[in-house]
Structure 1
Amino acid sequence: MNSKSKKYNKLKIINDPIYGFITIPSTLIFDLIEDPYFQRLRRISQMGMSYLVYPGAHHTRFHHALGAMFLMNKAVEVLRFKGITISAEEKEALLVAILLHDIGHGPFSHAMEHSIVDGGAHEEISLLFMEALNKKFNGNLTLAITIFKDEYDRKFLHQLISSQLDMDRLDYLRRDSFYTGVSEGSVNSERLIAMLHVKDDRLVVEEKGIYSVEKFIVARRLMYWQVYLHKTGLVAEQLLVKILQRAKQLVYQGQEVSASHALSYFLQKQITVAQFSNDILDIFSQLDDYDVLGALKSWQYHDDFVLSKLSKMLLNRKLLKIKIKNDEIPEQFLLNKLEKTMSIFQISREEASFFVFAGSISNQAYRMDKDTINLLTKSGKVVDVAKASDQLNLEALSKQVTKYYLCYPKTN
């Protein structure tokens, strides 16, 4: 087979249930998708434990990355049509950056960030993966990394990857809405992209797109309350955090806790993202949802009451009770629940704290203090969408709403 037919064979077409056919636009992107680091995303669910609430929510980070890349391709086409110069190198860099923007997610991502790797957000690990891939691909990702880190002199390119109206959000809102069946979150991503423009090196939306932007912000707020912060999904995720913390605690106490090679490594060590070497990154790249689910199936039979009980609860969806309030949970109320749990299960206060705990959640659909979504008026003036909108609720949506939750066993 000659090099020409090899190259042609890499320009594959993938069928996506939302956008239809997605064409892989270059051999570099094909090779990145083929890489084991990226293929791992097939085994990382996009929405963590949300399938316990919405049974259809089994789509993966792999799915989302391809969708975001498809939208980025559309955005570049729209901006070029409007006279914005974007070179072939810049276009490929944008496609690579958005394709790899979530590559650092661990299994059940947000739960892992609070229990396995200390003090590290997935964006930092994504960057480590991108730098490792850059070495593997002879420096061909350098421009993509520069744009991803917002170190490139054309700032609007970074905004397409990461801002309040980026290709990441445009895909995940529509995709998560589709797979959960929560139609309130559906956004018209094509219409929003068609309204994009650039003014003074900043991404803007043409004035006639104001209603689409309003719907996008409202959809984001609804998806957070109805899906991402749904109380059942929230308690399931917190349970997983507690399970992993307990497993780690038992390992430190010298107890045997069976797990896959990759999961065992992170249970045995206290590792921060700053300590990640290439070897640790390789071990992290072996971690996916199946390591965690496999461990839970084993841990339900562990001698430790806490680990066993919590694992059974999550596997069988017999979750803790959760109460969500507008005010902070009174400490005495929490202590009463702790005492009851200690008495019912005949366990210590420290063990009971894995079953009784409080926390907070917040929702801010739009931030007026940072990287605002700006409208380009017919007169050429640029204004913040919240100030231009005749919907008073947009300014209201920019205020952070915080709620407080308490979790405890249903036997209480």
Structure 2
Amino acid sequence: MTTNKNKIINDPVYGFITIPNDLIFEIIQHPFFQRLRQIKQLGLTSLIYPGALHTRFHHALGSMYLMQQALHSLRSKGIEISDKEFEGCLIAILLHDIGHGPFSHTLEFNLLNDITHEKISVLFVERLNTVFGGALDTALKIFTNQYPRNFFYQLVSSQLDIDRLDYLKRDSYFTGVSEGHIGSERIINMLNVKNDEIVVEEKGIYSIENFLSARRLMYWQVYLHKTAVSAEEMLIKLIQRAKYLTQNGVNVPATPALKILLERNIALKHFEEDSEILDLFALLDDSDIWGSMKFWREHEDIILSGLSTKLLERRIFKIILANEKPLSEWVDALKSKVQDKYQLNSDEIDYYTGSGQISNSAYISSGQKIKILTKKGSTVDIVKATDLPNVKAMSKIVTKHFFCWPEVD
């Protein structure tokens, strides 16, 4: 192993982050992890917020830093955490997003068949565990919720996990959307463990309200921004068209790794049957799509070339976002106009329009709850623990419908 000598990374959000040991340094140096430098945290959101150019690499390191702070805080409150558990938890959060493909969530179910990034992350962690001779055993158990002490898994994945504490603060910083800023340090210092569950001490209840409020606002202003939704829909349609053409014998130039994914409908079983599929996926990042798009805008297929050109030139589809589904008569009339203008047949029109629904749920009260530790030592769900109407309102799921289409006038 290469000695890291307590290597320090300068992070724009937290300042100096120290890599704690050689194993974690070697994991960060591995090509599987380095690939995250080329995958933007917020996909196409930089088309709306120009500063949103930060990557999954940034986020993973930031999450590791916050996990260090959380574990130190819990230790200071008398919670026993062995050095092995400490290291395992840091590795689990460091690798929690390693399974993301190009543009993060946008293409999650289009380049591959019904495989979540979480499942691919497990495959990557298992492979790295083999590479490092079983040194990731504890991290893998924590990551897959197989470790006997459940609160470690909650720190990695829950409604108040370290992942969310970093991405809200980081995404707020890089987009410039100040409403998303949260006091992650105070929240971390308010965490405790009761009955093997992560709880928040009662004096931190207002910090949690701010956290949930920030999450709700960031979804509407950033993650579900209507222009971002439209751009992502265009990218999804573009990949669907590239796959359709490739699988029907049309030559669609692409980078080698992307070419194979266009040719095949790869499902989870293929990863399990052929270890080389994971290595192939590990070669993919945002640049494969952008680079291939530059070839596609010259393609003879008008849909492939049209969508590529529009994305490269930031000519995003118009979009409406409403509480009710658009009237079918209005949608049909608009589709007819699009079909006429872009000379599409009835089988092609769906590539040039998009529809669906988006949901915003800051807190899912039916899920794994955020629990408040009262001064009397009992635990209670955040919704019941507070008299603040905002928290109760944020536990309701808000769904909106959208329809997007290119310029027709």
| TM-score scaled by length of structure 2 | 0.98
Asked if 1:279 is matched to 2:276, the reply is yes
Aligned to 2:202: 207
For the pair 1:229 / 2:224, whether they are aligned, the reply is: yes
Q: Does 1:387 align with 2:384?
A: yes
| C-alpha displacement of 1:30 | 0.3
Residues 334 and 356 in structure 1, CA contact (< 8 A), matched pair in contact too: no
What amino acid is aligned across from residue 386 of structure 1 in structure 2? V
Is residue 50–residue 227 contact of structure 1 (8 Å, CA) maintained in 2?
yes
- Would you say 1:362 and 2:351 are equivalent positions? no
What is the CA-CA distance between 1:147 and the residue it aligns to? 0.8
Q: Give the equivalent residue in structure 1 for 2:325.
A: 328
- The CA distance in 2 between the partners of 1:369 and 1:379, in whole Å, is 25
* Partner residue, 1:23: 18
1:196 equivalent in structure 2:
191
Determine helix, strand or coil for the equivalent of 1:203.
strand
1:239-278 aligned within 5 A = 239-276=234-271, 277-278=274-275
CA distance in 2, matches of 1:224, 1:105: 20
2:110 corresponds in structure 1 to 115
Q: Where in structure 2 are the equivalents of 1:138-157 lying within 5 Å? A: 138-157=133-152
Inter-partner Cα distance in structure 2 for 1:239 and 1:265: 21
Secondary structure (helix, strand or coil) at the match of 2:134 reads: coil
Inter-partner Cα distance in structure 2 for 1:354 and 1:63: 34
Alignment of 1:41 onto 2:25: no
> Residues of 1 paired with 2:63 and 2:149: CA distance?
20
How far is 1:408 from its partner? Answer: 1.1
For residues 127 and 245 of structure 1, the distance between their equivalents in structure 2, rounded to whole angstroms, comes to: 26
Q: Is the 8 A contact 2:296 2:304 kept in 1?
A: yes
Offset of residue 367 of structure 1: 0.9
Deviations 1:292-318 (A, max 9, x none): 000111101100000000011111011
Query: Helix, strand or coil: the match of 2:239?
Result: helix
Alignment match, 2:174 = 179
Structure-to-structure mapping, 1:292-371, within 5 angstroms? 292-371=289-368
Counterpart in 2 of 1:104?
Answer: 99
Give the drift of 1:34: 0.4
Partner Cα distance (1:332, 1:280) in 2: 45
Native 8 Å contact 1:156 1:202 kept in 2: yes
SS in 1 for 2:387: coil
Is the Cα contact below 8 Å between 1:338 and 1:349 reproduced in 2? no
1:75 pairs with 2:99: no
Residue 166 of structure 1, aligned match among 161, 184, 193: 161
Q: 1:290 aligns with which of 287, 290, 296?
A: 287
How far apart are the structure 1 equivalents of 2:287 and 2:209?
39
Q: Which moved more, 1:166-175 or 1:351-360?
A: 351-360
How far is the alpha carbon of 1:344 from its aligned partner?
Answer: 1.4
Correspondence 1:11 to 2:36: no
Q: Summarize deviations over 1:33-75 as a string: whole Å, max 9, x none.
A: 0000000000010000000000000000000000000000000
8 Å contact 1:334–1:357 — kept in the other structure?
Answer: no
Aligned residue identity for 1:67:
G
Stretch deviating more after TM superposition (329-338 or 205-214): 329-338
| Equivalent position amino acid for 1:393 in 2 | N
- Could you report, residue by residue, the CA deviation over 1:138-187 in whole angstroms, capped at 9, with x for unpaired residues? 01111111111111111101000000111100000000000000000011
Q: Secondary structure at the match of 1:111?
A: coil
Residue type matched to 2:320 in 1? K
RMSD after superposition: 1.0
| AA matched with 2:73 | V
Is residue 2:122 matched to residue 1:127? yes
Pairs aligned (count): 407
2: distance between equivalents of 1:389 and 1:215? 13
Q: Deviations over 1:56-115 (max 9, x none)?
A: 000000000000000000000000000000000000000000000000000102222131
CA distance in 1, matches of 2:149, 2:330: 53
2: distance between equivalents of 1:345 and 1:63? 41
Aligned partners of 1:102 and 1:110: how far apart in 2?
A: 11
Following superposition, the deviation at residue 330 of structure 1 comes to 2.2
Structure 2: gaps (5+ residues): none
User: Using the alignment, how far apart are the partners of 2:234 and 2:343 within structure 1?
Assistant: 20
Gaps of 5+ in 1: none
Structure 1 length as normaliser, TM-score? 0.97
My pick for the range that moved more, 345-354 or 169-178, is 345-354
Q: Please list the CA deviations of residues 271-290 of structure 1 after superposition, one character each: whole Å capped at 9, or x if unmatched.
A: 11232132000000000011
Deviation string, structure 1 residues 252-291 (Cα, Å, up to 9, x no partner): 1101100000000100000112321320000000000110
Find the aligned partners of 1:77 and 1:103 in 2 and give their Cα distance.
Answer: 25
2:230 counterpart letter in structure 1: V
One-letter amino acid matched to 1:394: V
